[in-house]
Amino acid sequence: MARSSRSTRRKQRATDGFQAPAQSGAAERARQRRRQVKPVGQPKSQAGARREPRAGVRAFAAESWGELKKVEWPGQRQLVSATVVVIIAVAVVGAYLFVADQAFKWFVQKVLLNA
């Protein structure tokens, strides 16, 4: 008679009384929903409403104006601080590119071309 190992006996004891959990109704309904094919309708806008078939410059201007009303515009203090940050960043990058350009210029002229 073959002797089983401890781990095999433990697995057998653990699975002897094991019963798989029953499928919940929600899981079954979700599975059925995934199987269904939904008809293709008109595309919806980002807000979920149906789009009206409008076109033209007037409609574009009206929608643009509506979107601009939703924007939270920065105050003067925030605008000045953001402008200062951009100017400093441009100056730093410009200085770096100037130094790198001068270094490469020297390298090409003196080392590569031996001029």
What is the rounded distance in angstroms from the CA atom of residue 105 to the CA atom of residue 91?
Answer: 21
Q: Which phi and psi (to 5°) does residue 44 adopt?
A: -100, 155
Digit-coded pLDDT (tens) for 54-110: 678 899 999 999 999 999 999 999 999 999 999 999 999 999 999 999 999 999 999
Q: What is the pTM of this model?
A: 0.42
Strand (E) or helix (H) holding 25: helix 25-35
Residue 90 burial (CB count, 10 A): 10
Instruction: pLDDT band for 8, please (50, 70, 90 cuts).
Output: low
Burial 26-47 (b: 16+ CB within 10 A, else e): eeeeeeeeeeeeeeeeeeeeee
- Position 32 scores a pLDDT of 77
**Domain residues of the chain, as ranges?**
85-115
Q: Cβ distance 92 to 98 under 8 Å?
A: no
